[in-house]
Amino acid sequence: MFFMLDSFRGQMRGVSIFIVIVIGVIFTFTGIGSISLSGAGSSELATVNGQAITEKEFLLELQRFRNRIQSEDTSITSEELNDDILRPIVLEQLIGSAVASQMALNQGMAVSTNMLNRMLMSVEAFQTDAQFDENRYRYFIRNRGQTNSEFKLQLANEMLSGQLFDGYRLSGFITNQMLLSVAELVFQTRSYYYLTVPRQPVLESIEIPETEVRDFYAQNGSSFRSEEQVSVDYIEISAEILARDITVDKNELAAQFRDEAETFKPSTSRRAAHILLPDLNRDLISEIMESISDGETFEDLAQKFSTDVGSAAIGGDLGFTNGSTFPESFERALEELSVGDISEPVATESGIHIIKLLEIEQSRFSEEEELPRIEREIVEERLDSLLNEKLSDLRELSFNAESMVELAAQVGATVSVSSLMTRVAGDGIGSFKSVRDAAFSDEVLVDGYVSEVLELEPDRFIVVKVKRHIEARQKEFDEVSLDIKRSMASNLADVKLRSLGEGLISRLELGETVEQLAKSDGFQWQVVLDADRTTASVNSEVNTLAFSVIFAGTKAHASFQLGSGDLVIITVNDRQPGNYAALNSDEQISFKNSIVSSLLNRELQSYHSGLIAAAKVRR
């Protein structure tokens, strides 16, 4: 099916997947109230070759960028996505996008209305029961603060940029000599010996006199200060908390179900399979039809003859259509079939189709499917109203509140206590910078007032009041003496290891071997033969270091300190270049593709940077 749809979309191959993912991420993470464009108008933040980037465009892209980051790493909170960091990045992205779409237009690329509409209809976020749902689409663009035309223009520009970059990628190549040279380096093998000097015995042998520890403390006492800390009482109002107490009466659900059932208009969906042929080959078509008459299954014939590789693998199955997914001639032929029937050959711009109707599905309005949705919508509506009401009360009553207990009772909430936090770090609500800033503000910390309402995340709000304050102070010697002693011993151990390593390297250069050093000094040693960069049977950290040693054709020695602190002494004895010809055909193809992709991505980045540099940009 994907092959067929791609051919319908012309040059959209590759771009569509990106667009669909981006829209899906936005739809998932953008809720009611999570993006506000009130006051955002058409004021220009920048121009690119005379084309304006407006404040509204910028705010939409900023929100989308935040959502994308949080979708990739759910541990990142909204508070951590600092606007001062994100805003310059987003503006540069918008400038780059504008330059790319302008260049695509200048090179004669275009996005037709049909291509754009097919793209929108394929986005899962805009579908209900696998069919395009205009209400979901309108809901989406309304929450983004965009009109239909604004959203389509943005999408068209992204599709144009995708066409430009896809065309650039497809034009790339790599010479055979370059491929062989890279393979020699990547698949190189090395043979080496190494010994390990453990750090722990060196560390344990070090004694730091008490007088030196006291001298260090006396000279650096100001460095040993405890940080100022506070804990706070806080009241939280959030959609998650409020939703726990919202229930919907069964009679109300039933009444809403009846109202919607009266206006429900059923629709018909048809599930199609096809065999796609490149042209009207009557002999081949006759052979296929005769095979069907002889009892061979349509699925087997699709796998054997169809040039739509995506659907052929699953028996030609294209899934369901509501009458607008495929070209008009395809849809007309499908509507004329009964379940199990097979059409005469049908021509579209993709080729010749032999179509089979697999099943017909009538949409239905059942309690089993609709009641959960209706209940969810009622809860969301009440929750939105209740949250606004509670938030309004909290803002008004917290202004002059003296008691957090009384304030909590007035807004129907509870008082919680945070763990201790510093000005730069904390757990729980203390992980939010806005909470720490409020807790350490003069208004809250010095004057003892309740903070203003803080928005931690969309639909999550709190106020805080200081409960406990611990002043910063210089720590006593007894509190830090053990830490000082450990630090001094650790530093001295590293110095001794480096000195020991230099001595061992000198002995190797004078003719001793790793094996001789290890046996005479009581160290563990290993020999590694013909290892490549990914050999799993050797210590990966040591192997990486061995491949970093400069080898000029004779033995090469080097010392390194591992992440564990242990010292390794390595002697590389031999190096053999990688052999591209030794790879099997699949490995050669995979390697070539990865190298081409890596080189082209660098070139593409350089090309795009050049376009931006040549553009007339006013910020």
What is the per-residue pLDDT across 105-125, written as a single tens digit (0 to 9) for each? 888 877 777 777 777 777 887
For residues 158 and 518, which has the higher predicted lDDT (pLDDT)?
518
Cα 596 to chain centroid distance, Å, stands at 24
For residues 25 and 585, which has the higher predicted lDDT (pLDDT)?
585
SS3 556: strand
Q: List, in order, residues 6 or more apart from 120 with CB less than 8 Å away.
A: 126, 132, 137, 152, 155
pLDDT at 7: 36
Model confidence band, residue 60 (pLDDT cutoffs 50, 70, 90): confident
Out of 252-266, 399-413, 500-514, pick the least confident: 252-266
pLDDT at 201: 96
Cα 74 from Cα 67, distance rounded (Å): 10
pLDDT at 5: 33
Phi-psi region of 50 (alpha: psi -120 to 50; beta: other; left: phi over 0): left
Is the pLDDT at 258 greater than 70, yes or no? yes
Q: What average pLDDT does the chain have? A: 85
What is the per-residue pLDDT across 292-334, written as a single tens digit (0 to 9) for each? 999 999 999 999 999 887 788 888 998 888 888 888 999 999 9
The position carrying tokens 């909170």 is 77
Is the pLDDT at 390 greater than 90, yes or no? yes
Cβ(46)–Cβ(53) below 8 Å? yes
pLDDT at 173: 66
Cβ(488)–Cβ(220) below 8 Å? no
pLDDT at 611: 85
The position carrying tokens 């060196």 is 202
- Stretch 221-246: mean pLDDT, rounded? 91
Q: Identify any residues that bridge with 558 across adjacent strands, giving them in sequence order.
A: 570
The position carrying tokens 């722990």 is 200
pLDDT at 340: 94
Q: Identify any residues that bridge with 360 across adjacent strands, giving them in sequence order.
A: 270
Name the DSSP letter for residue 525.
E
pLDDT at 169: 62
DSSP E strand stretches across 95-204: 127-128, 131-132, 189-197
For residues 59 and 29, which has the higher predicted lDDT (pLDDT)?
59
pLDDT at 23: 37
pLDDT at 342: 95
State how beta strands 51-54 and 44-48 pair.
Answer: antiparallel
Out of 42-46, 140-144, 461-465, pick the least confident: 140-144
Q: List, in order, residues 6 or more apart from 204 with CB less than 8 Å away.
A: none
- CA atoms in the 13 A half-sphere facing the CB of 466: 21
Q: How many CB atoms lie within 10 A of CB 292?
A: 17
What is the per-residue pLDDT across 528-548, written as a single tens digit (0 to 9) for each? 999 999 999 999 999 999 999
Is the pLDDT at 373 greater than 50, yes or no? yes
CATH topology of domain 2-171: Triger factor/SurA peptide-binding fold (1.10.4030)
Is the pLDDT at 78 greater than 70, yes or no? no
Out of 41-45, 186-190, 514-518, pick the least confident: 41-45
Cα 29 from Cα 283, distance rounded (Å): 54
Model confidence band, residue 13 (pLDDT cutoffs 50, 70, 90): very low
What six digits make up the tokens of 415? 């008082």
- Stretch 222-242: mean pLDDT, rounded? 92
What six digits make up the tokens of 352? 């010749």
Cβ(69)–Cβ(81) below 8 Å? yes
Cα 119 from Cα 115, distance rounded (Å): 6
- Stretch 325-346: mean pLDDT, rounded? 92
Out of 75-79, 127-131, 336-340, 457-461, pick the least confident: 75-79
Cα 145 to chain centroid distance, Å, stands at 24
Is the pLDDT at 146 greater than 90, yes or no? no
What six digits make up the tokens of 480? 């830090």
pLDDT at 543: 95
Q: Is the pTM of this model over 0.85?
A: no
Residue spans of the domains in the chain: they are: 2-171, 176-184+582-614, 189-224+477-576, 226-241+382-474, 268-362
What is the per-residue pLDDT across 487-514, written as a single tens digit (0 to 9) for each? 999 999 999 999 999 999 999 999 999 9
CATH code, 268-362: 3.10.50.40
- Stretch 206-211: mean pLDDT, rounded? 95
**Percent of residues, the chain, with pLDDT higher than 70:** 90
Which of 71-85, 261-275, 496-510 ranks highest by mean pLDDT? 496-510
